[in-house]
Amino acid sequence: MIDEIAKWQKLERNITAITSTVELDELTQDLIRPFDYQSDGVSRFYPFVVPNIPDNFDIGVIVGASGTGKSTLLSNFGKPLHFAWDNNRSIASHFDNPLDANERLSAAGLMSVPEWVKPYRSLSTGQRFRADLAISLRDGAVIDEYTSVVDRNVAKAASTSMAKYVRRNSIKRIVIATVHRDILEFLEPDWVIDLDRGEWVTGRYLQRPELVLDVYPCSNSVWSYFSSHHYLSGKLNKASHSYLAVWENQLVGYVAAMTSPAGTLQNAWREHRLVIHPDYQGFGFGPRLSEIVAEHYLMNGKRYFSKTSHPRLGEYRDNSSLWKPTSKNHMRRRDGLVLRDNVRWQLNPERWSFSHEYIGNGMFVSSKGKK
- Which H or E run includes 289? helix 285-299
Going by C-alpha positions, the residue among 319, 259, 254 that lies closest to residue 289 is 254
* Sequential DSSP letters for 300-336: TT-EEEEEE--HHHHHHHHT-TTEEE-TTTT----SS
Compute the half-sphere exposure of residue 181: CA atoms within 13 Å on the CB side of its CA: 11
Write the Ramachandran bin of 332: left for phi over 0, alpha for psi from -120 to 50, otherwise beta: beta
Local confidence band at 330 (pLDDT 50, 70, 90 cut-offs): confident
Query: In the prediction, which pLDDT does 178 show?
Result: 96
Kindly list the strands in the beta sheet with 9-10, ordered across the sheet, starting from the edge strand earlier in the chain. Answer: 9-10, 199-202, 191-194, 59-63, 174-178, 142-143
Residue 230 has pLDDT above 80, yes or no: no
Three-class SS state of 48: strand
Average pLDDT over residues 126-155: 90
Close Cβ partners of 92 (under 8 Å, ≥ 6 residues apart): 98, 101, 105, 116, 117, 343
Query: In the prediction, which pLDDT does 232 show?
Result: 63
pLDDT in tens, 249-283: 899 999 999 998 766 678 899 999 999 988 888 88
Residue 339 has pLDDT above 90, yes or no: no
C-alpha 368 chain-centroid distance: 30
Query: In the prediction, which pLDDT does 343 show?
Result: 35
For each of the domains in the chain, give its residue range(s) and CATH number, in order of start.
Answer: 3-10+49-202 (3.40.50.300), 214-358 (3.40.630.30)
pLDDT in tens, 29-79: 899 889 988 888 898 899 999 999 999 999 999 999 998 999 999 999 999
Residue 153 phi, psi dihedral angles, 5° rounding: -70, -35
Q: How far apart are CA 178 and CA 251, in angstroms?
A: 27
Angle formed by the axes of helices 98-107 and 311-318, nearest 10°: 80
Q: How far apart are CA 298 and CA 277, in angstroms?
A: 26
Write the Ramachandran bin of 41: left for phi over 0, alpha for psi from -120 to 50, otherwise beta: left
Going by C-alpha positions, the residue among 177, 122, 136, 131 that lies closest to residue 154 is 131
Amino acid at 155: A
Q: How far apart are CA 26 and CA 181, in angstroms?
A: 41
Close Cβ partners of 326 (under 8 Å, ≥ 6 residues apart): 305, 355, 356, 357
Lowest model confidence (mean pLDDT) among 101-110, 134-143, 246-255 = 101-110
Identify the bridge partners of residue 305 per DSSP, sorted by sequence position.
Answer: 270, 357
Rg (CA), the chain: 25
Local confidence band at 142 (pLDDT 50, 70, 90 cut-offs): very high
pTM: 0.77
Lowest model confidence (mean pLDDT) among 54-63, 130-139, 149-158 = 149-158
Local confidence band at 351 (pLDDT 50, 70, 90 cut-offs): very low
pLDDT in tens, 162-191: 999 999 999 999 999 999 999 999 999 999
